[in-house]
Chain A
């Protein structure tokens, strides 16, 4: 008995030609379904995963004049995302910790704890960065002093140009090491 026959009334027309035609129609329908899924799905996936391939804008941003910062002091400086989406609003704002080491030397730290990204705070008296989430602590040079952070605070590239301190882009540094 032919297993493909599920309806007795169809048994009369189950010739090899009909079966062959039916198999062809099955394959055709599945192929058309796949084509439709691809036509809609490929741009859909491309649209959703586009941020993965969007390059961070390489742009030197001014943090202020060199003379605005005292040697030995660490201060927070606000910066704007250089190319925010029009509806980003206040989420286009960012902050970095800037430390002036000498006349010509600055360190710009990411404000994100390298443990899990929470915002670290500068404790002026203790000269430590402390994280409120899981207790990560860093020295003034960004090295880990205590707690779970796996590596020092991320440093942005800094340069002085025309009397202004500039950093190269502000990204959330992601710790990709286990």
Chain B
């Protein structure tokens, strides 16, 4: 029997060339390329998870504006393993974004983008862009209320591009409004166009890794010199190189297995993101938010100064992309070790801090009004009748509470007014209410004089409680 299998294998291998195809797996790599080098493979494993689960989901997903939502409800609630598959696809996307970020940071800190691997880095940068584009278009395919409004947000952003903005916006919407043409084009882009390009670029990226070899871990004081690097690298491989399979690849398999297990556990126990309401553009009580990997950008759009926002919205992503692409062209020689490149550590650290801070800000969204703020209770108002009570009620009815906090109730868009009575005089409060200012609308034309009086009475009553010892000290004075 064994002889038969061997004969069949040899015949197939001769006719198909399987051994030849797999030969690159045994290419010689530096023996010190260990745990720091697993992120590239982890990214590819995440991509494979996405392809496999995406194909499975496509068996039931109908990319029609009128039916997609129902098919997602079916996949989530009725189809066997549907909820789990959606979860795998969602956490697989998250893993891919995280892993490609880690891969990029490691490559940058190790100076692996330098000669002769400039194009390996640049193709990786493009793959990062495609990954984020997949994340965004994937969220749109969820085709719920958030997805539909996110298409509008994307169209509005594209509209700011000089000269061709209006065309781009129409291309994204599939016309002048959300409609039947909107979803199917995103389906085609998410399922065919970008993955097709990604397959090509992943192939090119891997080919370049094989062509130039896996970079050796950097050594401080040993700069890259394009004139001598290739010779030194060959000598290193000859001296201490190891075949990638299996001497080095086992770590990739360990990390890959851990990654897939983590994705599966999250998908099983937490599940996919809940579907929002159906994508009905006539329902205006919507609060669209991007998935976590783009939440930082959502926050950025709220925090950058309005006057330069249009320029930043278009120029900043373009500049970041161009900078990333040309980094190796500008700096392809010299020290690779992070310890000799403090600016490289600073760039990565600042990027992580900036994205992390914006992400937290995006989670909290203090700039958004709190539409769910409930009327203040009598206890919070501190009165059951009279101007202070009326003012407390008006504070909710006139939507002041949507933007201001009173004892932890309300919104965070404006200042916390819990103790405003200690800070502002009656006149100052009136001026601010009537004229607005800063980021506050003027209420002079929408409030009656008696309403302003009641609001002022309420706000003046917002004072720190006097402690007993302070009270007695005041009495003594």
What is A's interface to B at a CB cutoff of 8 Å? 48-49, 51-52, 54, 56, 76, 78-79, 81, 84-95, 111-112, 115-121, 123, 125-128, 130, 132-135, 137, 139-140, 145-150, 169-172, 174-178
Write the nearest CB–CB distance from B15 to chain A, whole angstroms.
Answer: 25
Contact status A93-B280, CB under 8 Å: yes
Q: Flag whether B314 is at the interface (Cβ < 8 A).
A: yes
* Chain A minimum-CB-distance residue to B178: A91
Write the nearest CB–CB distance from A102 to chain B, whole angstroms.
Answer: 16
Q: Which residue in A87, A116, A169, A175 is a CB contact (below 8 Å) of B66?
A: A87
Residues of the B chain whose Cβ atoms lie less than 8 Å from the Cβ of A85: 65, 179-181
Could you say which of B280, B314, B371, B440 has the most chain A C-beta atoms within 10 Å of its C-beta?
A: B280
Contact status A51-B170, CB under 8 Å: yes
Residues of the B chain whose Cβ atoms lie less than 8 Å from the Cβ of A52: 167, 170-171
Docked CA distance A84–B64 (Å)? 13
Write the nearest CB–CB distance from A129 to chain B, whole angstroms.
Answer: 10
What is the 8 Å Cβ interface bit string for chain B, positions 141-171, against chain A (1 contact, 0 not)?
0000000110011011101101001110111
Contact status B284-A172, CB under 8 Å: no
Docked CA distance A139–B444 (Å)? 12
Contact status B310-A177, CB under 8 Å: yes
Contact status A175-B180, CB under 8 Å: no
Residue pairs across A and B with Cβ atoms less than 8 A apart, 6 shown, are A48-B185, A84-B179, A91-B178, A115-B156, A146-B439, A172-B156
Contact status B436-A145, CB under 8 Å: yes
What is the 8 Å Cβ interface bit string for chain B, positions 415-451, against chain A (1 contact, 0 not)?
0000000000000000000001001111100100000
Contact status B397-A135, CB under 8 Å: no
Write the nearest CB–CB distance from A144 to chain B, whole angstroms.
Answer: 9
Contact status A123-B175, CB under 8 Å: no
Write the nearest CB–CB distance from A94 to chain B, whole angstroms.
Answer: 5
Q: Flag whether B399 is at the interface (Cβ < 8 A).
A: yes
Contact status B171-A51, CB under 8 Å: yes
Contact status B288-A133, CB under 8 Å: yes
Write the nearest CB–CB distance from B51 to chain A, whole angstroms.
Answer: 23
Write the nearest CB–CB distance from B328 to chain A, whole angstroms.
Answer: 31
Q: Which residue in A51, A94, A121 is a CB contact (below 8 Å) of B282?
A: A94
Which of B226-234, B301-309, B463-471 contacts the other chain?
A: B301-309
Contact status B369-A130, CB under 8 Å: yes
Q: A87-B67, A117-B153 are in contact. Are A178 and B310 (CB under 8 A)?
A: yes
* Chain A minimum-CB-distance residue to B286: A119
Q: A121-B371, A132-B369, A174-B166 are in contact. Are A81 and B177 (CB under 8 A)?
A: yes
Q: Which residue in B175, B281, B442 is a CB contact (below 8 Å) of A54?
A: B175
Contact status B399-A130, CB under 8 Å: yes
Query: Interface size for chain B: under 10, 10 to 19, 20 to 34, or 35 or more residues?
Result: 35 or more
Q: A87-B64, A132-B369 are in contact. Are A51 and B441 (CB under 8 A)?
A: no
Q: Flag whether B413 is at the interface (Cβ < 8 A).
A: yes
Contact status A128-B371, CB under 8 Å: no
Q: Given A79-B282, A118-B149, A135-B367, list of 17 further CB < 8 A pairs?
A: A48-B185, A54-B170, A84-B180, A85-B181, A91-B183, A92-B179, A92-B180, A94-B177, A116-B153, A118-B152, A133-B287, A147-B367, A148-B309, A150-B306, A174-B159, A176-B166, A177-B310
Contact status A170-B65, CB under 8 Å: no
Docked CA distance A174–B116 (Å)? 45
Write the nearest CB–CB distance from B255 to chain A, whole angstroms.
Answer: 38
What is B's interface to A at a CB cutoff of 8 Å? 64-67, 148-149, 152-153, 155-157, 159-160, 162, 165-167, 169-171, 173-183, 185, 278-288, 298, 301-302, 306, 309-311, 314, 367-369, 371, 397-400, 402, 413, 436, 439-443, 446
Write the nearest CB–CB distance from A58 to chain B, whole angstroms.
Answer: 11
Write the nearest CB–CB distance from A93 to chain B, whole angstroms.
Answer: 4
Query: Which 7 pairs of residues, A with B, have the shortest CB-CB distance?
Result: A89-B66, A85-B180, A178-B310, A145-B441, A88-B180, A126-B399, A174-B159
Write the nearest CB–CB distance from B57 to chain A, whole angstroms.
Answer: 20
Write the nearest CB–CB distance from B55 to chain A, whole angstroms.
Answer: 23
* Chain B minimum-CB-distance residue to A88: B180
Write the nearest CB–CB distance from B348 to chain A, whole angstroms.
Answer: 28
Docked CA distance A123–B397 (Å)? 9
Contact status B306-A91, CB under 8 Å: no
Write the nearest CB–CB distance from B234 to chain A, whole angstroms.
Answer: 27
Write the nearest CB–CB distance from A56 to chain B, whole angstroms.
Answer: 4
Write the nearest CB–CB distance from A45 to chain B, whole angstroms.
Answer: 12
Docked CA distance A121–B64 (Å)? 28
* Chain A minimum-CB-distance residue to B163: A176
Q: A84-B180, A147-B367, A147-B439 are in contact. Are A89 and B67 (CB under 8 A)?
A: yes
Q: A91-B279, A145-B436 are in contact. Are A128 and B441 (CB under 8 A)?
A: yes
Docked CA distance A87–B64 (Å)? 6
Contact status B177-A170, CB under 8 Å: yes
Q: A51-B174, A51-B181, A52-B167 are in contact. Are A126 and B368 (CB under 8 A)?
A: no
* Chain B minimum-CB-distance residue to A143: B441
Residues of the B chain whose Cβ atoms lie less than 8 Å from the Cβ of A132: 286-288, 368-369, 371
* Chain A minimum-CB-distance residue to B443: A126
Docked CA distance A134–B365 (Å)? 8
* Chain B minimum-CB-distance residue to A139: B441
Residues of the B chain whose Cβ atoms lie less than 8 Å from the Cβ of A86: 180
Residues of the A chain whose Cβ atoms lie less than 8 Å from the Cβ of B181: 51, 85
Q: Which residue in B149, B159, B288 is a CB contact (below 8 Å) of A176?
A: B159
